[in-house]
Homo-oligomer: A and B are copies of this chain.
Amino acid sequence: MNTVITIGREFGSGGRELGRRLAEALGYEYYDNEVLTEMVKHTEMSENYIREIVEGKSHRLFPITVEHTFIAGSDYTIQQVQNIYRAQTEVIKEMALKSDCVIVGRCADFILREEEQVRLFRLFIYADIESRIKRCMERAPEGENMDEKQMRKYIQKVDKGRAGYYEDYTLQKWGDKSNYDMCFNTTNVSIEEIVDHIASLFR
């Protein structure tokens, strides 16, 4: 039976890095943007359009941009979003059934919650807002000059998108600990240092 670790994470908490390093430490497959790439194949929609939806930048009841064309919320739009939901479910399940893996984001915790053929661990990674601002500013690409105030706003915006999409898709509250098996607070913690300890939970 495959072990699947899903990672939900607040933006800037280091959750993605933790997922990547955890997969490395355990010798598991790692899926992050790969989920999106596979969804493109399943739907034949553009990656940009899918990204708009899954990052919660567009809401299904509001106008959505499809490849430079502006469409009002309509049966067509709702149909498209449902296709995306379906593709996401298919892709995640295929990945989970293929081998041991770590999957970051994409409501994987919800999609796999009743999948009897995998040993599922649903992790949520979080941190206080100050440490997330700090982590993001340290890791910003050179030339990206957001100040602290802008970064705070940006973090809140990204998380709002994630929460919105998760809640639309799952009807559950994003980040509510009852939806996860383990939650780790990474405030003031080095991901590199804790990842081996966390890996030992799954060995």
Point out residues on A near B: beta carbons under 8 Å.
Answer: 124, 126, 128, 175, 177-178, 180-185, 197-198, 200-202
Contact = CB atoms under 8 A, between A and B. Distances in A.
**Dominant secondary structure of chain A at its interface with chain B:** mixed
A168 to B, nearest CB: 22
B185 A126 contact: no
Contact of A182 (B128, B184, B200): B184
A180 B184 CA distance: 8
A172 to B, nearest CB: 13
21 contacts: A126-B177, A128-B178, A175-B177, A177-B177, A177-B183, A177-B185, A178-B185, A180-B183, A181-B184, A181-B185, A182-B182, A182-B183, A182-B184, A183-B183, A197-B200, A197-B201, A197-B202, A198-B201, A200-B200, A200-B201, A201-B201
